[in-house]
Amino acid sequence: MRKYKTGGHQERNKRAGTENVAGIVGIGKAIEISNNDIEKHMKNLLLLREYCIERMKKLFPDVKLNGHRIIRLPRQL
């Protein structure tokens, strides 16, 4: 009976060519799609962040913001 050797340690003991090519291509496309409107999403996040901070300050006058008021993620455009 003939034994077929699996890949070496550098192949994580898998036969060469068994990588998830469809998954690799898919994640690349997902990144491309997510970057299409990134500036629009960042602006929306900035508005939402400012709304939340102002709302918390109104509801809880003694609330303290942890971190810099402007220099934080997402960065202002």
Q: Which residue type is seen at 25?
A: V
77: in domain: yes
User: Residue 47 falls within a domain, yes or no?
Assistant: yes
Give the DSSP letter of residue 75.
P
Residue type, 59: L
pLDDT digits (tens, 9 = 90+) for 7-57: 666 666 666 666 788 999 999 999 999 888 888 888 888 899 899 999 999
Contacts 24+ apart (CB under 8 A), 11-17: none
Q: How many domains does the chain have?
A: 2
Q: Count CB atoms within 10 A of the CB of residue 46.
A: 16
In a domain, residue 1? The reply is no
Same domain, 32 and 42: no
Residue 2 lies in a domain: no
State residue 8's pLDDT score: 64
Same domain, residue pair 20 and 45: no
Residue whose entry in the numeric block shows the structure tokens 């918390």? 56
Nearest to 50 by CA among 69, 22, 67: 69
- Determine the structural domain holding residue 51 and report its residue range: 38-77
